[in-house]
């Protein structure tokens, strides 16, 4: 496995373990760097913690004493830890650099790198891009926010590998020299303001994906997103737009019922399996990124004629007595749920609710016209009920969780209806992750008679 060469920092603080912090600590220790780990929740009995101790790490658990910064030259922060955390804030005030582990992946990987971000669609686009390369017999690995830790995967890649990384705004705030050969910017909408504090901070974090690119690199971007347009003058890479609305030069677009890239027809739309208008944007972005890094039209077509979606993202679950169940648990904001609702012309029973971040749901109201019943749960149940009444939905039910919501929606449904879990909220009020929430829903659907 590869090691960091000539790493300029000799004493590093890993703030927050989980998967990314543990992987970064192991890499640094293997590379001969002194590592101190600070985590509030981890236990000394944890297998990963014990392994880091045995490898030579100093471990401080259960609190955040400012003394963990003594002698430290750089902080590698778990992306989920906010910058107002006392250690992160003190490090920032002291002028210490604060990065996320993806910066280490950039130092390790020597081949082409495709980095993908956006307010919505990251996982689908990342999965599509990786599969298109794989089906084209192009060596590729996938990592990042999609599951595997970037720096851990980068330790195993060769110069021939294309490394496809899904990146969140949390990760992108912590980059310094990270430079993908292809950056993909899907969209930028208002999100995660509890973390970033201002919309401007969030937008700039997303734009960081291309901040280090040069004229030899490519920026694939959504030509219809106004916020992205405002950032384009910061980009040094070759600009590769995509659009579902019009023909664009040098990029991906729709024309005469087909998908094109740079004037070349790739596939007819009626052959594409993945549903949803918003997924056409994801597909165009993936086609662009994959073609720029060597994918073949045959490989791309094989993916688009078979790929029906990633788990928890408009995932088809089951047809039960002509009721069609979809798991969109990854829809943790209003925009994602709006896009999901736009994907269906049939009557929809919408299951929504979760963590209350202080926002109302007025922006969701225009997309509720086709909603036959609204089943709400979690901290935002009352707010969603209010929005449902404003939208004129006559049947609104409040339940305790997604399992009850699945049963209630089934009771209310008729043949050919869609039952859609698309919460428009984070899961943390009731479930540890959106994946857990989605799994609970899927399990409940399979128990229905």
pLDDT tens-digit readout, 308-334:
777 888 888 888 999 999 999 999 999
**Does 14 score more than 80 pLDDT?**
yes
- Report percent pLDDT > 90 for the chain: 82
**Does 93 score more than 90 pLDDT?**
yes
- Asked, for residue 356, whether it belongs to a domain, the answer is yes
Q: Are residues 80 and 115 in the same domain?
A: no
- Asked, for residue 5, whether it belongs to a domain, the answer is no
List, for residues 156-196, the tens digit of each pLDDT value. 999 999 999 999 888 999 899 999 999 999 988 766 666 66
First CA to last CA distance, the chain: 50
CB atoms within 10 A of CB 28: 24
Q: Are residues 140 and 262 in the same domain?
A: yes
CATH of the domain at 53: 3.40.50.720
Question: Which candidate, 260, 261, 244, places its Cα nearest to that of 187?
Answer: 244
The mean-pLDDT minimum among 3-12, 303-312, 422-431 falls in 303-312
φ and ψ of 22, to 5 deg: -65, -45
* Angle ∠(362,167,306) on CA atoms, nearest 5: 85
The mean-pLDDT minimum among 45-54, 194-203, 252-261, 424-433 falls in 194-203
Structure tokens at 150: 């970037």
Rounded-to-integer distance, Cα 50 and Cα 68, Å: 19
Q: What is the pLDDT of residue 193?
A: 61
**Does 28 score more than 70 pLDDT?**
yes
Across the strands, what pairs with 34? 11
Q: Are residues 352 and 281 in the same domain?
A: no
Question: Which candidate, 11, 24, 17, 29, places its Cα nearest to that of 81?
Answer: 17
* Angle ∠(421,422,427) on CA atoms, nearest 5: 95
Question: Which candidate, 218, 261, 217, 214, places its Cα nearest to that of 242?
Answer: 261
Q: What number is the average pLDDT over the span 187-206?
A: 75
Structure tokens at 278: 């918003």
Q: Which residue has the tokens 């994907």?
A: 343
The mean-pLDDT minimum among 85-89, 190-194, 300-304, 424-428 falls in 190-194
From 80, 99, 118, the end of a domain falls on 99
Q: Residues, the chain, total?
A: 449
The structural domain count of the chain equals 3
- Asked, for residue 4, whether it belongs to a domain, the answer is no
List, for residues 397-413, the tens digit of each pLDDT value. 999 999 999 999 999 99
- Asked, for residue 203, whether it belongs to a domain, the answer is yes
Rounded-to-integer distance, Cα 195 and Cα 183, Å: 23
Q: Are residues 133 and 277 in the same domain?
A: yes
Rounded-to-integer distance, Cα 348 and Cα 391, Å: 14
CATH of the domain at 374: 3.90.190.20
Q: Are residues 430 and 443 in the same domain?
A: yes
Q: Are residues 117 and 36 in the same domain?
A: no
Burial zone of 271 (CB within 10 Å; 0-12 exposed, 13-18 middle, 19+ buried):
exposed
Ranges 182-191, 226-235, 333-342, 380-389, most confident: 380-389
State CA 258 to chain mean position distance. Answer: 27
List, for residues 31-82, the tens digit of each pLDDT value. 999 999 999 999 999 999 999 999 999 999 999 999 999 999 999 999 989 8
Q: What is the pLDDT of residue 255?
A: 96
Helices (H), 191-237: 193-196, 199-207, 226-231
- Asked, for residue 422, whether it belongs to a domain, the answer is yes
3-state helix, strand, coil in the chain (%, to 5): 35, 20, 40
Q: What is the pLDDT of residue 191?
A: 61
CB atoms within 10 A of CB 371: 23
Q: What is the pLDDT of residue 190?
A: 65
CA distances from 63 to 16, 52, 87, 252 (A): 11, 18, 10, 50
At residue 205 the predicted structure's pLDDT band, cuts being 50, 70 and 90, is confident
**Sequence-separated (6 or more) residues with CB below 8 Å from residue 321:** 415
Q: Are residues 126 and 75 in the same domain?
A: no
Q: What number is the average pLDDT over the span 245-250?
A: 94
Compute and round to an integer the Cα radius of gyration of the chain: 23
Q: Are residues 112 and 153 in the same domain?
A: yes
**Does 147 score more than 80 pLDDT?**
no
Q: What is the pLDDT of residue 194?
A: 67
Q: What is the pLDDT of residue 119?
A: 84
From 272, 304, 336, the end of a domain falls on 304
Q: What is the pLDDT of residue 195?
A: 67
Q: What is the pLDDT of residue 90?
A: 97
Average pLDDT of the chain is 94
Q: Are residues 215 and 253 in the same domain?
A: yes
Range of the structural domain that residue 59 is part of = 11-99
Q: What is the pLDDT of residue 252?
A: 98
Q: Are residues 225 and 339 in the same domain?
A: no
Q: What is the pLDDT of residue 300?
A: 98
Q: Are residues 287 and 345 in the same domain?
A: no
In this prediction the pTM is 0.78
From 99, 129, 150, the end of a domain falls on 99
Rounded-to-integer distance, Cα 96 and Cα 225, Å: 35
Structure tokens at 61: 């658990």
- DSSP secondary-structure letter at 210? G
Question: Which candidate, 199, 172, 186, places its Cα nearest to that of 125?
Answer: 186
Q: Are residues 393 and 323 in the same domain?
A: yes
């Amino acid at each position: 496995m590869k090691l960091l060469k000539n790493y300029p920092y000799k004493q590093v603080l890993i703030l927050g373990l989980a998967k990314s912090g543990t992987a970064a600590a192991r890499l640094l220790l293997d590379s001969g760097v002194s590592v101190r780990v600070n985590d509030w929740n981890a236990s000394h009995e944890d297998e990963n913690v014990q392994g880091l101790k045995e490898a030579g790490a100093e471990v401080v658990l259960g609190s955040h004493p400012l003394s963990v910064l003594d002698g430290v030259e750089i902080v590698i922060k778990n992306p989920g830890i906010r910058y107002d955390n006392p250690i992160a804030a003190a490090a920032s005030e002291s002028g210490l650099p604060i990065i996320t582990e993806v910066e280490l992946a950039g130092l390790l990987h020597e081949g082409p790198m495709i980095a993908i971000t956006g307010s919505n669609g990251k996982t689908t686009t990342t999965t599509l891009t990786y599969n298109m390369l794989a089906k084209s017999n192009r060596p590729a690995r996938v990592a990042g926010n999609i599951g595997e830790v970037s720096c851990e995967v980068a330790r195993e890649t060769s110069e021939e590998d294309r490394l496809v990384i899904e990146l969140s705004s949390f990760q992108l705030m912590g980059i310094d020299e990270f430079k993908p050969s292809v950056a993909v910017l899907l969209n930028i909408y208002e999100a995660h303001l509890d973390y970033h504090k201002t919309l401007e901070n969030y937008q700039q974090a997303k734009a960081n994906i291309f901040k280090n690119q040069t004229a030899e690199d490519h920026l694939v971007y959504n030509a219809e997103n106004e916020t992205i347009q405002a950032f384009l003058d910061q980009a040094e890479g070759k600009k590769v737009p995509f659009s579902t609305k019009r023909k664009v030069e040098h990029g991906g677009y729709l024309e005469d019922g087909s998908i094109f890239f740079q004037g070349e027809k790739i596939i007819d739309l009626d052959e594409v399996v993945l549903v949803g208008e918003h997924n056409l944007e994801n597909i165009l972005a993936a086609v662009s990124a994959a073609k720029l890094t060597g994918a073949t039209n045959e490989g791309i077509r094989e993916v688009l004629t078979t790929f029906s979606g990633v788990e928890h993202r408009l995932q088809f679950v089951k047809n039960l007595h002509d009721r069609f169940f979809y798991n969109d648990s990854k829809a943790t904001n209003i925009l994602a749920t709006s896009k999901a609702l736009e994907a269906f012309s049939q009557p929809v029973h919408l299951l929504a609710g979760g963590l209350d971040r202080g926002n109302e749901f007025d922006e969701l109201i225009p997309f509720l016209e086709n909603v036959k019943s609204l089943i709400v749960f979690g901290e935002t149940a009352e707010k969603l009920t209010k929005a449902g009444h404003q939208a004129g939905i006559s049947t609104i039910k409040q339940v305790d969780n997604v399992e009850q919501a699945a049963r209630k929606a089934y009771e209310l449904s008729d043949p050919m209806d869609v039952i859609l879990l698309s919460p428009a909220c984070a899961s943390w009020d009731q479930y540890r992750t959106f994946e857990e929430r989605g799994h609970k829903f899927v399990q409940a659907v399979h128990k229905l008679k």
